[in-house]
Structure 1
Amino acid sequence: MTENSEFRPLPEATGVPVAHLHRETPAVFRGMASDWPAVSTWTFPYLASLAPSLPVQLVAGNREKDRTAFTRSTLGEYLEPLTRDSSADHDQTYLKEFDLLKQFPGLRGDLRHERMFPRGSVSSCSSWIGPARARTGLHHDLLDNFAVQIAGTKRFYLARPGTVERAGALSTKYDSWARLSRVGIAELAADGDPAAGDDFFAVDLEPGDVLYVPARWWHEVVNLSAGILLSGFFGSRMRVASLWARVRLRDTLHRAGLLSPENCTCHAERRGAQHQ
């Protein structure tokens, strides 16, 4: 997919993110996290120095749309090429959904994310670290998300809830906390109703920018340069508890081979596996 930003630009928002939540529409808050210590200190060499020999599992390619494949490396070995040149071509492996704060609890002091979440909400933070052109395929999450760009530049393509469903493009591929599309967003927009141009948006995040992505909003994400992003998924205690029960049931069925066996984002697939 050639990167372009022909979709409508996402409007910039003002004020604090929590005040925008009732609108249930995406919004970008420029520079909202620019004063976080992480934005100035979380360089690739710094993160690598925390535990160079730490084993990490990397996602190969676009696992949301294509087959799922993993490779293994160490934190230092993976980050070293990104340190040398953040814009050069690298193997398209991606350190996705990495629990950076669990591995290095001291990094919590470099964040100010707690002030973004509504009072009483339950939240979970993961990091996405990878080279230019690393991609997360079109999907929607079950929880709201505050995506904070820490380093590099990342582009989000967004589509309104229901856009993939109306196109009959839902994938049967299993993911525990998301729903996937079997086509990319460029294909979806090209094949859709020309009058539905208002359904598609694009926004580029620079270090310190915060993007609010409501649950059920479809999005595809690509690194325009090597980068680090922190996602904070959140919801009320009641909503998270309800979703957790459903997710756990589906996960049990999946692992028992009764729901999308051998067609998921959590297990490597054999070559030739077909996606619907």
Structure 2
Amino acid sequence: MDFLDEILSKSKKIEETTNFDSNNFKKFYLNKNKPVVLKGYGHDWAAKEKWTLDFLADLEVESPVSLEIGANNQKETNFVRENLKTYIESIIKNEYRDKKDIAYLTLFNIFDRFPHLKDDVDLSILTKFTKRNNIYAWIGPEGTITGLHYDSLNNLLAQVMGRKLVVLVAPKDNKNMYISDKFELGATSSEVDINNYDESKHPKFKEVKFFSVVLRPGDVLFIPKKWWHYVKSLDTSISISNFGAFLPDILFTQTFESFLYSLHCRGYYKKGNCTCHRVVDGKVLSKFN
């Protein structure tokens, strides 16, 4: 059954603030591993006005991008390669309205492809404290879903266009989250599919304490590392995520993850059980190539 409505009916509101002082953010949220909505933090960003679908479609991209089909965290891994302009034009034409599994551009290295767009956003409330930052764009039509998972790094999720629903679960509820064995670089997924919940398989999930928020353009959500989250686009949506790493994250967490990923790509670790590879006509394809 779809468990989302029940989750929302009993979820608590995530704290909001309009105090964008970086030291305040560090003291009360970053240091305490506490989520917060920076309400309107990106309201004056150039991206909020400039980044329309038409604007992105007109950017020159010679190589294709990877599109996830459905929520790969809990379902069978499925992705395709397509030109960015072609994909965005398909959203504009509303070609995904009646499709069950929607194509979703995730973890798109937008500033690697288009460095001139960096000036359109300001993520310094976090980046002034971090040593390394990986910034990605998420672009998709209404109904795209990222299933329950947590990231190994702190994340600023900024809403540029459209609305997104985010459900959070604290790390203290790990015992009720049914951690998946599926390999995902930089993240850990839950077996629980919120939109196809099976209580007989995951009964303890109903004991979880949920938090939720609907992000609107200009809102930024701080998701501390290892906080579970589920994300659903309520409209055609453009978002960016900044995954910020401190020195210990770089030396230990990311070094270990890179080692596991290297083993995985060579078939020595969780071969065939991941969100990054699929087999087509006997050939192994990678989402990242």
TM-score, normalised via structure 1 length: 0.88
Correspondences of 1:1-276 after superposition (within 5 Å): 1=2, 3-4=4-5, 5-6=8-9, 7-16=11-20, 17-19=25-27, 20-51=29-60, 54-85=63-94, 88-89=97-98, 92-163=102-173, 165-167=174-176, 169-185=178-194, 187=197, 191-192=203-204, 196=207, 199-268=209-278
**Residues 86, 46 of structure 1: alpha-carbon distance in 2 compared, 3 angstrom cutoff:** farther
Q: Secondary structure at the match of 1:133?
A: coil
Query: Once the 2 structures are TM-superposed, how far is the Cα of residue 28 of structure 1 from its aligned partner?
Result: 0.6
Q: Separation in 2 of the partners of 1:261 and 1:193?
A: 28
Q: Separation in 1 of the partners of 2:50 and 2:56?
A: 9
Query: Once the 2 structures are TM-superposed, how far is the Cα of residue 14 of structure 1 from its aligned partner?
Result: 3.7
Q: Separation in 1 of the partners of 2:26 and 2:218?
A: 17
Worse overlay, 139-148 or 234-243: 234-243
Q: Alpha-carbon deviations, 1:137-188, whole Å to 9, x = none?
A: 110000000100011111111111142x313611110011001111124649
**Residues 46, 193 of structure 1: alpha-carbon distance in 2 compared, 3 angstrom cutoff:** closer
- Name structure 1 gaps, 5 residues minimum: 272-276
Q: Alpha-carbon deviations, 1:83-140, whole Å to 9, x = none?
A: 3459944560010000011111110111111343243532110011111111111100
Q: Percent identity?
A: 30
Q: Secondary structure at the match of 1:67?
A: coil
Instruction: Check the 8 A contact 1:100/1:126 in 2, yes or no.
Output: yes
Query: Once the 2 structures are TM-superposed, how far is the Cα of residue 252 of structure 1 from its aligned partner?
Result: 2.0
Q: Secondary structure at the match of 1:192?
A: helix
Q: Separation in 2 of the partners of 1:149 and 1:119?
A: 21
Q: Separation in 1 of the partners of 2:32 and 2:144?
A: 30
Instruction: Check the 8 A contact 1:86/1:225 in 2, yes or no.
Output: no
Q: Secondary structure at the match of 2:278?
A: coil
Instruction: Look up the match of 1:274.
Output: none
**Residues 224, 217 of structure 1: alpha-carbon distance in 2 compared, 3 angstrom cutoff:** same
Query: Once the 2 structures are TM-superposed, how far is the Cα of residue 227 of structure 1 from its aligned partner?
Result: 0.3
Q: Separation in 1 of the partners of 2:205 and 2:240?
A: 34
Worse overlay, 117-126 or 216-225: 117-126
- Name structure 2 gaps, 5 residues minimum: 282-289
Q: Secondary structure at the match of 2:47?
A: helix
Runs of 4+, deviation exceeding 6 Å:
none
Instruction: Check the 8 A contact 2:147/2:231 in 1, yes or no.
Output: yes
Q: Separation in 2 of the partners of 1:239 and 1:70?
A: 29
Q: Separation in 1 of the partners of 2:256 and 2:13?
A: 35
Aligned residues: 268
Q: Alpha-carbon deviations, 1:27-58, whole Å to 9, x = none?
A: 11110111010011000000010126641111
Instruction: Check the 8 A contact 2:150/2:189 in 1, yes or no.
Output: yes
TM-score, normalised via structure 2 length: 0.85
Q: Secondary structure at the match of 2:31?
A: helix
**Residues 89, 31 of structure 1: alpha-carbon distance in 2 compared, 3 angstrom cutoff:** farther
Q: Secondary structure at the match of 1:132?
A: coil
Worse overlay, 29-38 or 246-255: 246-255
Q: Separation in 2 of the partners of 1:241 and 1:63?
A: 29
**Residues 43, 86 of structure 1: alpha-carbon distance in 2 compared, 3 angstrom cutoff:** farther
Q: Separation in 2 of the partners of 1:59 and 1:81?
A: 15
